[in-house]
Chain A
Amino acid sequence: MFPTPIHKASPFAQIAYKIVLPLALILWLLPLIGVAITSVRPVGDLAAGNYFGIPSGFAGVENYTTVFRDSPIGLYILNSFKVTIPTVIGAVALSCLTGFALAVYRFKGNLLLFFLFVAGNFIPFQILMVPVRDMTLRAGLYDTTLGLVLFHVAFQTGFCTLFMRNFIKGLPFALIESARVEGVSEWRIFRYIVLPLMRPAIAALSVLVFTFVWNDYFWATVLVQGQHAMPVTAGLYSLNGQWVAAWHLVSAGSIVAALPPVAMFFLMQRHFIAGLTLGATKG
C-alpha cells in the first residue's frame, strides 16, 4: 500500500492525521457548506450583512417553502425527471445492443464503429448545436421534453456503448461459444446469457447517465425556452436572475436542484465509481 498505512506511523502523526482529515474536508466543502447554511438563514440576516456569521435563527422551513411556492421549481424538477428517466432507459437499452454487437462479433469495420462512438463522445456540443436545434424545431419538438430526450439518448449512446462493449469483452467468451455450439440463436444468447451478466454494468451506467443528463445545462438552454419543459438546471439559472441578492432563496433552490443526483450517488455509490473509473486500472 502507498503511502505507508497511518497506523504504522508515529502516534503523533496518527493524531495529526485524524485532526487534519476533518479540517481538510470542511475546507474542501466550504462553498457547499456556505450555501447550505445560507439556505436556512433568516432573510433579516442578509439585510443586516450577516452572510457568513452564525445564523440568527433557523428559517429552513420558511425558505424552502418559499422557493416551492413562489417559483416553478417543482415543475422544473418534474421536467428534469421527465427528461432524465426516459433518457436513462433509452440510452442503456440501445447501448446494451450496440455494446454486445461490438464486443462479440468480428466483422469488418468493428473497431472503426467502436472508435466512432468513442470519438463522438468527446466532441464539443457546439458542433452539433445549430443543426440539432434546427432539426428539433422542424420536427416540432423544440421546447418539449421529448426533444431533449431524443438528443440525450443519441449522444449518451456513445459513452454507453464504449462502456458496455468493454464490459462484455471482459465476460468469459467460452460461455457464448458453447451456447452457439448448442445451436442457441444469437438473440437468445444476448437475452438469456449475456444480459443477465450485464446487471452491474447496467446499474453503473444508469446512475452515471442519470447524473450527466440531470446536470446538463447546455442543451436545456438550446432546446427549451419556456417554463413548461425547462429542466431544473436552466430553471435555477433563470431564478437566479429573478432573485437578485435573495441569496437564501438561490441557495435553497440550488440545494433542491442538486439533491436528486446526490441521493442517487449515495444510494449507488459503488456502481457510480465503478462506472467512472472504468479503464483507470488497466490498459
Chain B
Amino acid sequence: MASGASSRETLRGVAVTEVVSSPPGFWKQNQQKLAPWLFLAPGFLMFIIYVLVPIVQSIWISFHEWDGLGEKVWIGLGNYIELLDDDDFYTSLKNNVIWLVLYLLSIPAGLAVALFLNQTVTGIRLYKSLFFFPFVISQVVVGLMFTWFYAPNFGLFSQLIAWLTGEQVAVLADERFVTYGIIAAGLWPQTAYCMILYLTGLNNINPEQVEAARMDGAKGAKLLWFVILPQLAPATFIAMVVTVIGSLRSFDLVSIMTAGGPYGSSQVLSYFMYEQALSEYGFRMGYGAAIAVVLFLIMMVFITLFIVRMLSQERNA
C-alpha cells in the first residue's frame, strides 16, 4: 500500500493519491514482482485443490480396487485390462464417436440459422433471442421435453413418424435409434449456441470487402465460401471447441432420457463412468476412475490442439 498520501490528484478521471517520498521498504521495492502472486493466490489455490490435485488423484485411484470407503488395493493396470474386455466400454466408445461426429452438425446448422436471421426487419432482435432460447434452459429440462416429444403413442414426434411410415417407433426404447434420439435433443441447444457465435461474427464482417466482392460479381454460395467464411474463421474455431468438448462431455441428456438404456445401448463414457462409480451396481471407484482417465486422455488430444492454436494466436497478438 502507498503510504503518506498527501494531496489528491485526478488522473484521467480517476482519483489517485500521491505518495510522499519515504524510505523504500522491502515491499515497495519488490511490489511489482510479488503483486501478481498475491493476486493469483486465492483463485489459483482453489483451482489447485478442486481441479489440479483431483486429476492426479483420479489417475492414482484408477490403479486401485476401491469401494470408496475401505482400503484401496493396488491392482496396477487391472482396471484398464478389465476395460478392454468390457462390452459396455466399446458401446460407450462407439457412442462417443457418434456423438462427436453428429454434434458437429450443429456448426453448419448454426451458420444456416444465423444467415437466415441476419436481417434487419422489425422485431428481429426478439427473434434472435428466442432462437437462442434452448441454450439458456437446463439440459434436464431439454431432456424431459424431448423424452415427452418421443413418447410412444402420443408424443408429437412418434405421431409424426407413425403418420409418415405407418409404424410406431419408440425412439428411446429402441436400441437402433436411442443414441440418435438423444443427440438430436443435444443438437437443439448446441445449434443455438453456434448460431449466436456466427451472428456475432457476421456482425463484424468487413462490409467493404463484401461490396468489393459483389462488384466483381460474386454472390450467393461463392461469396459465402470465399469471402464470408474466411472472415468467420474465429467464430468457427470457437464453435468447434465448444461443440467437440460438449459432445464428449454429454452426460445430462443421457442420464435424464435413458440412463444409458435400453440395455446400455445409449451409454457414453461419461455416463458409464458415473454408473460404475456411483450407482446401485456398486461403488467401483477404481474402475470408474480408469474410465474417467480414458475419457480425459481423449479430451486432452483435443484440448492440446486447441491450446496450441490459442497459443500461436497469443504469440501473434
**Chain A: residues with CB nearer than 8 A to chain B?**
1-7, 17-18, 21, 24-25, 28-32, 34-35, 38, 49, 51-52, 94-95, 97-98, 100-102, 104-105, 107, 110-111, 113, 115-120, 122-135, 150-151, 153-155, 157-158, 161, 175, 178-179, 182-188, 190, 192-193, 196, 211, 214-215, 217-218, 221-222, 233-234, 236-237, 240, 247, 250-251, 254, 257-258, 261-262, 265-266, 269, 273, 276-277, 279-283
Name B137's contact: one of A34, A115, A192, A258 (CB within 8 Å): A258
**Chain B: residues with CB nearer than 8 A to chain A?**
1-2, 9, 11-12, 14-19, 31-33, 35-37, 39-40, 42-44, 46-47, 49-55, 57-58, 61, 68, 115-116, 118-121, 127, 129-134, 136-142, 144-146, 148-149, 154-156, 159, 188, 193, 196-197, 200-205, 207, 210, 219, 223-224, 227-228, 234-235, 237-238, 241, 245, 248-249, 251-252, 255-256, 269-270, 273-274, 277-278, 285, 288-289, 291-293, 295-296, 299, 302-303, 306-307, 310-311, 313-314
| Contact flag A21-B127 (CB < 8 Å), given A125-B270, A130-B58, A183-B2 | yes
Q: Is the interface of A mostly helix, strand, loop or mixed?
A: helix
Q: What separation, in Å, do the CA atoms of A186 and B274 have in the docked complex?
A: 46
Q: Which residues of A contact B203 (CB under 8 A)?
A: 281
Name B43's contact: one of A157, A190, A234 (CB within 8 Å): A157
Q: B156–A52 contact, CB under 8 A?
A: yes
Q: B273–A126 contact, CB under 8 A?
A: yes
Q: What separation, in Å, do the CA atoms of A128 and B16 have in the docked complex?
A: 44
Residue in B closest to A247 when the chains form the complex, CB atoms: B148
Q: Is the interface of B mostly helix, strand, loop or mixed?
A: helix
Residue in A closest to B302 when the chains form the complex, CB atoms: A122
Q: Give 4 A-B pairs besides A1-B118, A135-B54, A218-B274 with Cβ atoms closer than 8 angstroms.
A: A2-B210, A29-B130, A262-B133, A273-B200
What are 5 A-B pairs at a CB distance below 8 A?
A: A105-B32, A116-B52, A126-B296, A186-B31, A236-B141
Q: Which residues of A contact B196 (CB under 8 A)?
A: 273, 276-277
